[in-house]
């Protein structure tokens, strides 16, 4: 009976370790330019593929700038009187992209968002990679991506249980 449980157990732990082994990457926003006026962040974000667990680092001079994580609507309007999800102002802010969805950032210093200090990043569920969303592109597919991860995990769990039951019946 012990051997009949071996295959599903191995499958289960393989799937578990696969999730754990996915390495997070740290990205410095704007690379050497940091988070500042005069950098094209749309271009920067399009040059990278972001995956769940990756970390964005915003480097800037405190007081001169800040980082607001906002809704897509606020990103587009640059009106941060509403739609602010999180505020950062340490000058070296680390933001973990914890979900397969689109993240929107602006600098909430008068004129900076309109001047181009805003960025959207699209985060992929796994190593497949996804480009940054274009300014006019809608992000309807974000929910789908999250759904797919859940489905994949359930698929592995279901198969493990099925194999275990089958293994017990065989003895
Ligand atoms: Cu700024």
Domain ranges in the chain are 2-170
Q: Give residue-wise pLDDT tens across range 19-65.
A: 554 578 999 999 999 999 999 999 999 999 999 999 999 999 999 99
72 pLDDT tier (thresholds 50, 70, 90): very high
Alpha helix (H) residue ranges in 22-141:
41-46, 72-77
Q: CB of 103 within 8 A of CB of 69?
A: yes
**What is the gyration radius of the CA atoms in the chain, in angstroms?**
21
CATH superfamily of 2-170: Cupredoxins -  blue copper proteins (2.60.40.420)
Alpha-carbon span 103 to 45, nearest angstrom: 11
- Distance from Cα 36 to the centre of ligand 1, integer Å: 6
- Maximum Cα–Cα distance across the chain: 72
Query: Which residues does 55 contact at the CB level (< 8 Å), separation at least 6?
Result: 24, 25, 26, 27, 94, 95, 96, 97
CA of 44 to the centre of ligand 1 (A): 16
101 with 145: CB under 8 angstroms? Answer: yes
Residue 102 has pLDDT above 60, yes or no: yes
| Nearest partner of 68 among 34, 109, 31, judged by Cα | 109
pTM of the predicted model as reported, rounded to 2 decimal places: 0.63
Q: Identify the CA nearest to 64 among candidates 39, 98, 89.
A: 89
CA of 31 to the centre of ligand 1 (A): 16
């Amino acid at each position: 009976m012990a051997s009949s449980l071996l295959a599903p157990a191995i499958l289960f732990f393989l799937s578990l370790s696969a999730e754990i082994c996915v390495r997070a990457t740290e990205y410095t926003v704007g690379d050497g330019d940091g988070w500042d006026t005069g950098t094209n962040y749309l271009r920067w974000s399009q040059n990278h593929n972001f995956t769940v667990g990756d970390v964005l680092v915003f480097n800037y001079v405190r007081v001169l700038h800040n980082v607001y994580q906002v809704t897509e609507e606020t990103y587009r309007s640059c009106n941060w009187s509403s739609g602010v999800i999180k505020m950062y102002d340490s000058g070296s802010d680390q933001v973990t992209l914890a979900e397969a969805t689109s993240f929107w950032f602006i600098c909430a210093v008068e004129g900076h968002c309109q001047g181009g200090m805003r960025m959207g990043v699209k985060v992929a569920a796994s190593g497949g990679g996804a480009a940054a969303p274009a300014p006019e592109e809608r992000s309807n597919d974000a929910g789908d991506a999250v759904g797919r991860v859940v489905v994949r995990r359930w698929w592995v769990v279901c198969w493990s249980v099925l194999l275990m039951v089958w293994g017990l019946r065989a003895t």
